[in-house]
Amino acid sequence: MTDTVTPTASGAAAAATPHLDDVAAAARTAFGATVASTAAERARWLTAAADALDAAGPELVPLADGETHLGATRLTGELARTTAQLRLFAAAIVEGSYLEATIDHPDATTIPPRPDLRRMLRPLGPVAVFGASNFPFAFSVAGGDTASALAAGCPVIVKGHPAHPRLSRRTAEIVAGALAAAGAPDGIFGHVEGHETGIALVRHPEIRAVGFTGSLHGGRALFDLAVSRPDPIPFYGELSAVNPVLITAAALDARADELASGLAASFTLGAGQFCTNPGVVFVPEGSGFAARVAAAVPSDAAVPMLTDGIASAFADGLGALAARPDVSVVAGDPVQQRGTGAPVVLSTTTTAVREEPSALLTECFGPSTLVVEYSDVDDALDAIRAVGGSLTATVHAQPGEELGDILAVLTEIAGRVLFAGWPTGVAVSWAQQHGGPWPATTSIHTSVGVTAMRRFLRPVAYQDAPDAALPAELRESNPLGIPRRVDGVLELP
């Protein structure tokens, strides 16, 4: 793709290919306004963007389907999720607890004596956001990274994904227009394209943080760029996960067919192109569970995948697994048709996993799952420890089963632990955690839910400041009525 930079910052006039420096400079200028803006103002901007995207749904959904093959039903729901999360952030910033406002009054009796200290979170500055291929709305131009950064008070420059360029450009135009009409400052939002432009964006001195959802290889390369800058910046990347599932013998005895159909529906959803796809499932040996899953796999023909590159990587990954002597193909054909994905079920043992975990526990991004047979729960947990970091980990057990050891291991490797259901589907809420140890993500933070704002904020403490000089959130009278911790006691409005 030819590198382009489109000036979709609010209020900017159309131009052909302005320099990235101009867009970054505009974002830096806008930061002077966003850092001084009120939560009510930013909430109005976010709500305006949500309203505009909802109104444009009849235009945007067919455009997205034409570039992604994800289907109108899926994309309509994803657009609704996108606008809902914009509104959730709008409500959260007005509520105010995300700021962690904390006040310690002077106390001469402490050792050492304590001055007046007031602390809160403040926005970092302009943020770069890389759109994802597999969620053209919810993790793209107006997705969670953009919403959380704008809510925090950070201008955003989005690097559009080449898998859906026309959708990205049109979404950016709609968001920019809505922000401008709502009174947001010029330069608060920009959209750029192209591989080299993306690299330059991470390196640009005006950028203070980066949000990324994509491949392990691409994310690691950008992460290394971000931390090797003369002034290293945080890189919040969601990269790779196999999302292990452990099914106990009691659970299989009670509901084997239900579990098999649930797994089949989960790993084939959206042609398996979900970051929470259950890629490896541990079951008791001799249970015949893999055959049950194979029987439950939809018999639909291969479906187009998001890009030829994703389809090619999926086929290569399947080929490498199927060629191993310690892996069996239970259902489907590991030789995939060009540009498409068809369901495949494979099986192996915990012995094989322990001998070469890097080969067997690698994300295969597409409609496949690897069923691993274990001798007992301790054997399964020993193999699961080799999985490394994942976004999710799931246990299916029966009421009354002892889960202490299982919970300890799953909590160690994953950011979200499920006790029922399947990991595909990530609710957007205050309590959500979408992130996990490396290689799932590059940080401890979430990219979904209200706490996603924490990535683009930094703590600042004010010592012995005159009340009039303080941000409104820290003034003695609490004029905004937000939750605060005062002298160690949480005070609610």
Residues catalogued as catalytic: 238, 275
Contact 204, 413 (CB under 8 A): no
Is the bond into 230 cis (omega within 30 degrees of 0)?
Answer: no
Q: What is the DSSP letter of 367?
A: S
Contact 125, 31 (CB under 8 A): yes
| Gap between the Cα atoms of 315 and 308, Å rounded | 10
| Residues sharing a CB contact under 8 Å with residue 388, sequence separation 6 or more, in sequence order | 357, 361, 413, 437, 438, 439
Beta bridge mates, 392:
416
| Residues sharing a CB contact under 8 Å with residue 356, sequence separation 6 or more, in sequence order | none
Contact 349, 285 (CB under 8 A): yes
User: What is residue 233's three-state secondary structure?
Assistant: coil
C-alpha dihedral sign at 189, 193, 197, 202: positive
Is the bond into 58 cis (omega within 30 degrees of 0)?
Answer: no
Q: Which of 242, 196, 177, 191 is nearest to 216 (CA)?
A: 242
| Gap between the Cα atoms of 171 and 177, Å rounded | 10
| Residues sharing a CB contact under 8 Å with residue 32, sequence separation 6 or more, in sequence order | none
| Gap between the Cα atoms of 244 and 414, Å rounded | 9
**Which pair of structure tokens corresponds to residue 195?**
């591989």
| Gap between the Cα atoms of 366 and 271, Å rounded | 6
Contact 144, 155 (CB under 8 A): no
Convert 422-450 to b/e letters by CB count within 10 Å (16 or more is b). Answer: bbbebebeeebbbbbbebbbbbebbbbbb
Which residue is associated with the tokens 């002298």?
487
State phi, psi for 162 to the nearest 5 degrees: -70, -10
165: number of Cβ within 10 Å = 16
User: What is residue 282's three-state secondary structure?
Assistant: strand
Q: For 76, what's the count of Cα atoms within 13 Å in the CB-facing half-sphere?
A: 5
| Gap between the Cα atoms of 12 and 447, Å rounded | 29
| Beta strands 368-374 and 235-238, pairing class | unpaired
Convert 241-256 to b/e letters by CB count within 10 Å (16 or more is b). Answer: bbbbbbbbbebbeeeb
Which residue is associated with the tokens 């009849």?
58
